Structure 1
Amino acid sequence: MSTGYKYFAFTFNDYVFTSAWLIVFTIITIGIYLRNHQNPDYKYFMPHFFWKMFLGIAFATFYVYTYGSGDTTAYYQGAECLKDLAMEDPSSYLHELISGPSGDYIPSYYNSRTGIPPIWIYKEPNSWFICKLASFFAFFTFKSYLALNLIFSFISTLITWRFFLFVRSFLTIRVGYVAIAVLFIPTVGFWCSGLLKDTVVYCASLILLMNLIKALKGLKVTHVVWIILSAYIIGATRSFVLISILIPFIVTFIFYFNRSASFIVKFITRTIGVGIIFLVIFAYSRYSSTFEELSTQNLVSTAEVIYNDFQQNQGYTGKRYDLGISEFTTSSMIKTTPVAILTAIYRPFIWEASGFFMLVNGLESLVLLYFTLKLFQKRDKLAPRMEEESRIFFIICLFSCLIMAFFVGFTSGLFGVLVRLKAPLIPFFLLFVFHRITENNPKKNAPLNEKTALS
């Protein structure tokens, strides 16, 4: 394998093994559909599969023939190096899997036979973690970047579909709205389908959210396993996303714990819960240096580094935006919160688009703004009260979106980066908006059988 990370064109292996895997995935998908075709919701299953496969291939083609390199091709090279290392020196491969990067140098066990991973990927733990994940699948792609990309797209397809069935089991939103929000948003499909950190974070977030809500109804061992696994993946990849999900869930759990108990019991438990939250916040602010990347100092400093890098590094092309912040302190970040959140959710505006993909996202933002404005329409006071499970889901989703939007809007700096990082929060926000504007309408489609969706 080449020691560089350029990948200028697809190879013969790309065409052959990608075609083979596409045939395999199509057969699997058809089999799943035939077993469930009586369920009316499965009319979206095959279109969703081909939509994700198309966007996954389009994403890989765009990166290879437009840039010739990037994070995704570097992840591929790192995965190939790890796979070749496993074949030559299994003990060193296991060492790489369970340990972090060794610093600014490449260990000597990487050589001409294993290939040399890109140093800028290897020395960044979050990015190198993606290479580790991808290395498990690299054994089955026969040195094909496109095939490895397609495997990630298929896994993303199955997880996204599972989430669609999950929300259909208890939400009263029309099925078409749910399908749009979860299955068919163009930028989400493009940026969260291929071999990218965004795909891993998005899929792990869906798994974490599903199992957290399931655990509220009845904790099982499988829920614990999936919660721990998905939380670990998110924490190792993009830690602020883990914070944005867990904080709303913990607060929601405290206020819904013992919700059927007497007033005095609820008052005592919630008071104790709020006290614990403030105690944790105090302890975290005082001793957060022990949390390494999740410490307050590192979160602020990391945000500053990323923001300044995107603002000042001329290697990043594209239109920039400025939140007007001059110094990076906790107080200045708090003051900038409303602008950062609005930027992440609604920008780029359509007049700020500088290319085709930006134009598509600008149109998405315009549609999202339109539906958001419909939230302020006069509501029916006699509308049925939202069911408890739906209420818990939307509280977690809404506040997760706001926290995530703050981090994304604050650190991106470039509209091109903003479009990519904001993609995972759009489905959650759209679900909330769709539910609010349609909750007064009769339920058009009955939810799935709970056993089917929550199994």
Structure 2
Amino acid sequence: MVKTLFLSLQDLLLTPIYLGILYGIAYAVRSKVTNVYTRKYFIPALTIKFIGAIMFGLIYEFYYHGGDTSGYFAESHRVYDIMGRDFTEGWQLMTTAVGGTSPATLKYGGMFTWFTHAPTEDFVVRLCVVLAILSFGTYTVMALFFAVLSFSGMWAMYITFIKLRPQLYEKLALAVLFIPSVFFWGSGVMKDSLCIGALGWVFYAFYRGAIEKKNILRVTITGLIAAVPLVETKIYILLAFLPPALLWVFNENSTRIKSAGLRLVAKPVLLLVGGGLAYVAATTLTAGDERYDIDAIGERTKITADYLYITSVTQEGSAYNIGKLDGSIGSMIKISPQAIVVTLFRPFLWEVRNPIMLLSAFEALFYLYFTIRTFYRAGVARGLSLVATTPILTLCFVFSLIFGATVGISSSNFGTLVRYKIPLMPFYMCGLLIMEDIARMGRVPKRTAVAARRPQTNLRPA
């Protein structure tokens, strides 16, 4: 029997207790990861993640009547129950690789849809089993743990952005920590929560290790650990982030080469090395995986998009069509501009078909308004020049465009798109805010000048 998510006495009793414990830990570590400027956002941002995690479960339980989050919980709870009856069998299930066999998988394999069968879902289910042990199999408590994991990476992302532009610490807090769709879709028991938290830590590790060049060994380990959920669940996020991140590192470090001649020689070499690393990562990490293999990604994207389009037309009325996709890389490139527009600025208000879409439409309308306002104030030519010459802006917008095209092409469904696009949203908004601030100042400040104005932060990677 599949256990429901809510309406159990266990949830009502344990959730307040775990909230008290988690808040106690948060208050204990707050002084170590904040300063006088950022401290006031720490607890409110964590609170909004807790609210988002619980509300996410409620929406899926009572509005959608099930979904991926229900599946993760149900399958992890089955393993948790097996462990309670026979820990050896449960441990065999936990330690048997996907596609492998053991006495336990032969006995219980038919009970599972994802666990031991689907690699990307299997990772989340295994994590949920661990959290089920810590939470006594309670969904709401498990959701709180997912919110904490997501929040830790989002806070690392925020700290990184304010190191780069400290005078915007208030606006950047809103852009990273309080975007409605991000704290809602990125807080519950889902892959999206793990991935946006992991991306925040990878971003932090790149900055701390490759640009600040501090605690290199420690932040390298942190970045590698953070990359695991991305590789295991949504590797396309990492592949979209890696090339602009390498370009960001190159641009930041090339400005420190005082000799113009040496910069001229170093730039193509570093670009070649960065491009080579990105290609190796893209081909090596995806080799043999039909979902992301470079040779098959066009056809796989077409299959996914067609399936989601048909599903959304017949079930939800939330489909969109941006052009013909024939399974080739060329067709993907051709419709990329429309995909970027749909990711960033749609659904439009007249395309709304349900209450969830309405909230997404208002948010998309705000993004459109803020984009137009920013480029109007900065000037289109000036804004594009800033993107090309300011390293952090290059990262934010190149990543947003690459990722926006990727998810816009593959989704074909506003309902899934609103979840898929959340990794780019803080970067895009922060890019607009930083561009507006630089344009307002009338010049691109030197890094030394920026550093002189930075409030000191002392975030320490886990």
> Does the pair score TM above 0.5?
yes
Please give the per-residue CA displacement for 1:217-238, whole angstroms capped at 9, x wherever unaligned: 2161111111211222201111
Distance 2:188 2:369 in 1: 30
Distance 1:32 1:330 in 2: 47
In 1, are the aligned partners of 2:80 and 2:137 still within 8 Å (CA)?
no
Counterpart of 2:40?
43
In 2, are the aligned partners of 1:9 and 1:65 still within 8 Å (CA)?
no
Q: Amino acid of the residue matched to residue 251 of structure 1?
A: L
Distance 1:25 1:230 in 2: 21
Counterpart of 1:299?
297
Higher alpha-carbon deviation: 256-265 or 297-306? 256-265
Higher alpha-carbon deviation: 131-140 or 292-301? 292-301
Describe the SS at the equivalent of 2:105: coil
Counterpart of 1:75?
72
Higher alpha-carbon deviation: 134-143 or 197-206? 134-143
Describe the SS at the equivalent of 2:38: helix
How many angstroms does 1:151 deviate by?
Answer: 1.4
Please give the per-residue CA displacement for 1:361-381, whole angstroms capped at 9, x wherever unaligned: 111111111111123335499
Describe the SS at the equivalent of 1:424: coil
How many angstroms does 1:146 deviate by?
Answer: 1.5
Counterpart of 2:446?
none
1:208 has 2:215 as partner: no
Query: Among residues 226, 229, 236, which one is paired with 2:232 in the alignment?
Result: 236
Distance 2:95 2:349 in 1: 43
Distance 1:16 1:291 in 2: 47
Counterpart of 1:125?
119
How many angstroms does 1:93 deviate by?
Answer: 3.2
Counterpart of 1:448?
455
How many angstroms does 1:435 deviate by?
Answer: 1.2
Distance 2:279 2:423 in 1: 30
1:223 has 2:223 as partner: no
Counterpart of 1:58?
55
1:344 has 2:351 as partner: no
Distance 1:409 1:164 in 2: 26
Counterpart of 1:418?
417
Counterpart of 2:179?
185
| Mapping 1:391-430, distance limit 5 Å | 391-430=390-429
How many angstroms does 1:285 deviate by?
Answer: 9.5
In 1, are the aligned partners of 2:149 and 2:194 still within 8 Å (CA)?
no
In 2, are the aligned partners of 1:353 and 1:362 still within 8 Å (CA)?
yes
Please give the per-residue CA displacement for 1:306-353, whole angstroms capped at 9, x wherever unaligned: 101111236752410001214121111110111111111111112222
* Gap runs ≥5 in structure 1: none
Q: Given the superposition, is the C-alpha separation of residues 249 and 94 from structure 1 closer, same or farther in structure 2, using an over 3 Å criterion?
A: farther
Higher alpha-carbon deviation: 37-46 or 232-241? 37-46
How many angstroms does 1:288 deviate by?
Answer: 9.3
Distance 2:159 2:106 in 1: 48
Q: Given the superposition, is the C-alpha separation of residues 253 and 169 from structure 1 closer, same or farther in structure 2, using an over 3 Å criterion?
A: closer
* Gap runs ≥5 in structure 2: 442-449
How many angstroms does 1:99 deviate by?
Answer: 1.9
Distance 1:16 1:213 in 2: 42
In 2, are the aligned partners of 1:344 and 1:422 still within 8 Å (CA)?
yes
Distance 1:275 1:424 in 2: 27
How many angstroms does 1:45 deviate by?
Answer: 2.0
1:116 has 2:117 as partner: no
Query: Among residues 148, 151, 162, which one is paired with 2:156 in the alignment?
Result: 162
How many angstroms does 1:96 deviate by?
Answer: 4.1
Q: Amino acid of the residue matched to residue 139 of structure 2?
A: Y
Q: Given the superposition, is the C-alpha separation of residues 246 and 92 from structure 1 closer, same or farther in structure 2, using an over 3 Å criterion?
A: same
Q: Given the superposition, is the C-alpha separation of residues 400 and 173 from structure 1 closer, same or farther in structure 2, using an over 3 Å criterion?
A: farther
How many angstroms does 1:186 deviate by?
Answer: 0.8
Describe the SS at the equivalent of 2:164: coil
Q: Amino acid of the residue matched to residue 73 of structure 1?
A: S
Q: TM-score normalised to the size of structure 1?
A: 0.86
How many angstroms does 1:152 deviate by?
Answer: 0.9
Query: Among residues 263, 270, 273, which one is paired with 1:273 in the alignment?
Result: 270
Distance 1:286 1:183 in 2: 33
Counterpart of 1:26?
23
Q: Amino acid of the residue matched to residue 240 of structure 2?
A: S
Distance 1:33 1:275 in 2: 42
Distance 2:387 2:319 in 1: 43
Distance 2:287 2:87 in 1: 34
Query: Among residues 243, 248, 253, which one is paired with 1:252 in the alignment?
Result: 248
How many angstroms does 1:193 deviate by?
Answer: 0.5
Describe the SS at the equivalent of 1:377: helix
How many angstroms does 1:283 deviate by?
Answer: 7.7
Q: Given the superposition, is the C-alpha separation of residues 47 and 197 from structure 1 closer, same or farther in structure 2, using an over 3 Å criterion?
A: same
Identity %, equivalent residues: 21
Distance 1:53 1:125 in 2: 28
Distance 1:48 1:18 in 2: 19
Supply the RMSD in Å over aligned alpha carbons.
3.5
Q: Amino acid of the residue matched to residue 368 of structure 1?
A: Y
